[in-house]
A and B are shown apart, each in its own frame.
Chain A
Amino acid sequence: MFAAISLFVLLSLPHPAIPDTPQKSFDAIAREADAARQADHLSNALKLYSDAVRLRPSWADGWWWLGSILYDQDRFSEAQAPFKRFIALSPKPAPAYAFLALCEYETQDYAQALHHFELWSNARSPGTGALLDVAGFHWALLLTRAGRFNEAFLLLAAKAKQRGATPVLTEAMGLASLRMAFLPEDYPPERRESVWLAGMAAVYNAQSEFRLSDAYAERLFSHYGQEPDVHYFHGILLRFQGSEDSAAEEFQKELQISPRHAPALTEWAASRLETGHNSEALTLARRALEIDPQSARAHYILGRALLETGSFHESAQELETAKRLAPESSRIRFALSNVYKRLGRKQDSEREQAAFLALKGKGNVLAPLDDKLMAPRATERPQ
């Protein structure tokens, strides 16, 4: 499904028209190039497009087709330069960012790939559904590799809901679920079974097929219950199913195996907060922050716990820290709006409420990718 995008996808992308030009030789070559491409004579088309852009380097269309054909032939290192030229020349290059990122992924330039996926996302003009599928999937893989497991998980879960347990999606979800900062092609082979089992449990969980999810989770625990992150993952699954007490037990088990597991402490705190055990949540969130002071989620949970226990000034401080660390999180803005209201800071509260509404469903990759990319900016007026 995600292995490649065929040329017909590329053909359907918007591109600028061939500019009117007095250079006959250029026109002739461009026409021949288009004809060769349309006749599927791709080697010839490649040569002709190369000749054409050499004659006229400002021909964005030529760079686009050059990059597209090379991409379609899996010649990723060669495809990058044409896509970069297209991006530089085109007023609306958004899909090209995704193709460039995909090429950079294949040539293992992961930092640049992540950067270009983010530019693609911010440009909010994603291209075809097939591109959304492929690019969104690879973006999630890179988020996992970068240790941004929650964001990756949310992107993948949205796809799992649509597509079910395909093998590649299952593997990607398994890596994110077990907090393994690897790509599918470079994680330790001996962990394959645990990744598969976690992935199956996660996919079925995303589809609310909890019996099937539990069946795979049980298989995971029976062989890998003593490995780090497995009980944490189980806790997350149980929280998703609304079993907060059982989830809390799983987070405790994780902490017996991995005593400095800040996410387990944070989620345990969140779970206790959810069930009204606010002072316990305070203690746990503070322990999480001792281990990981840069965790936006731990600051957020602590801020909410402080809000619940009436410590409004401290709550505001924690939530402001959380906002600084994760400026696009709508949840943090919502909580901030509440605490400002309690503090009588009406103007601040209204500002945060407006930010919450603007970010809700659109914030960074925390929103399902399709929604985010399709949605207009908060400042844009729909046509």
Chain B
Amino acid sequence: MGYPHPSHPKETVVLSKHFGDPEARTYAGWLKRGGYDALRKALGMTREALVEEVKASGLRGRGGAGFPTGLKWSFMPKDVVKPHYLVCNADESEPGTFKDREIMRWTPHALIEGCAIASYAIGAERCYIYIRGEFTEPWKVMSAAVDEAFANGALGDNVFGSGKRIEMVLHRGAGAYICGEETAMMNSIEGKRGNPRIKPPFPAVAGVFGMPTTINNVETLAAVPHIINQGAAWYKALCLGNPKSTGTKLVSVCGHVQRPGNYEVTMGTPMRDILYDMCGGPPPGREFKAVIPGGSSVPIMNMEEAEAALFDYEGVVEKGSMLGSAGMIVMDDSTDMVYQIWRLARFYAHESCAQCTQCREGTAWTTRILERILAGKGKQEDFQLLLDLSENMTGKTICVLSDSCAAPIVSGIQKFRSEFEAYIAGAREPALVSV
């Protein structure tokens, strides 16, 4: 449902069914809503059968990369000769994205159940849930729910009498966007600076504490109990676009729409339906100008592209951007694109871990060049300079933070060049004082 709004008829409400219902937060309330049936069922299955079921569902990573979940699980060693770990990525920090927060606030047991099933499937006895430091409320709700799950035997040394051991530890982040990157997250859990690691080795070979590790996003794991309960075929059939994108997706919509919130749609739903029907269109008297569809790290779409796109992994790529985390930032005609692109570049400059030169220097210099343009001191050469820097920031670093900074800059110049020109020509009042 489009929390905090009532459910819209065009939504497909699976994960968000109990958003806004405080009773669903408790263990007893969750049982009443069918909770933990999937975990009991999973414990009666073999590990291999579980992995196959998730593979067959077509579920793909909901954190942004869209990697097939069952395939990721299958990379874990079959024999457990050393400890295996599950890490749940609850570091939700991608600007525009606020879906995992609602899952943890309203349905903590859905996440715990998904984590427990995944832990069993990959042969892990311990799961770390990495929750960003700023999420004080989700932390409290999750802490209480984990305690209840242990007290009721859904976690612990002998889960529901199955003889299986599944422990869960909540780990609090401390303010670093980069820790949402999976290898940085592993370093952060180990008590280190959150610098991403070079891959290979991949986490399934040497992850947290050097042990085989699987890292999944909150929304991905919360979807798993539904797949186990209702079957892979049911999940796979939730598809309106490309058959490679199945299931439902929480779309966080923010910015200039009448009803911002989290909407849950079947993969392949037209973006138009989300923007106009569910979210109610732009504020009165305004028109949409641009959409960043997948969190701030993906290319900006103009409205021609956005209104023609189907909302799934392939559909958004076809129209020049990426589904990412499905955090949709909507901008209307009151938006100064140059200013907002500068603000995004400043974000990445602030969040760069500074390991790689291209990122450390590139994010800082693009920010300063954009500042210069906003101060009315830009030059024609700045276009090429920004594009050259962006080129050097793409595909050349350990992680994709610098690529993410380049994406809005390059797409912004391509699609909204006249707004840059206006500042450079002095046709527009400087938005920043001299730098």
A binds B: no
